[in-house]
Chains A and B, each alone.
Chain A
């Protein structure tokens, strides 16, 4: 079992729609959960982080965490073409850092 599972996509949504990106992880000791966005040929940049079960909202982005199910998700409301990128899910457990291989999102104008 991979430490982090993400659907590689591509996930295609029309402009203005909600994009839902999902991630499951295997390390139950994971304490911190991060979502990074990576444009093609660029470095990862932090979008959201969440530490507790529940939802956390920041602008158009909402991160959701369910530690019992070992599941974390990222919702992007009012998707824009500029949101088209690969989104990396990254659970961390102190000195263990995991990154998923990412979900590629395409937002069509």
Chain B
């Protein structure tokens, strides 16, 4: 069974659309994260939730909105997509905030 699973794996859409990416972890971890990895391979944290509470909200456009219905799920909704949003988005989880993180396979978002 996949430990951290993201859907969809690929997302191709047009500028201006709204899209969501879902993430689920079955590791029993209490902390989940969203990262963006751009074409230069920089992995940058966007959000982190601990037991459904937002604990990290980096400088990210407010078009990005995370939602955590429970501690095993962290979804990312993006409004009014822009060309610069094209990237790979990784979900991750850990047991505690300073512990090793387990990453999902990533969602490759391409904006046309």
Contacts and interface: CB of A to CB of B under 8 A. Distances in A.
Nearest to A43: B103
Interface residues of B, number: 22
B30 interface: no
A32 B90 contact: no
Given A32-B99, A49-B100, A99 B90 contact: no
28 contacts: A31-B98, A32-B98, A32-B99, A38-B41, A42-B105, A42-B106, A43-B90, A43-B103, A43-B104, A43-B106, A44-B90, A45-B103, A46-B100, A46-B102, A49-B100, A86-B41, A92-B97, A94-B97, A94-B98, A95-B55, A95-B56, A95-B97, A99-B42, A99-B43, A99-B45, A101-B40, A101-B42, A102-B41
Interface string A80-109: 000000101000101101010110000000
B96 to A, nearest CB: 10
Nearest to A46: B100
B97 A44 contact: no
A45 B103 CA distance: 7
Nearest to B90: A43
B44 interface: yes
Interface in A14-59: 31-32, 34, 38, 42-46, 49
A95 B106 contact: no
A89 to B, nearest CB: 11
A45 B35 CA distance: 14
A44 B98 contact: no
A99 B101 contact: no
B98 A92 contact: yes
A15 to B, nearest CB: 25
Interface string B78-107: 000000000000100000011111111110
A88 B43 contact: yes
A49 B100 CA distance: 7
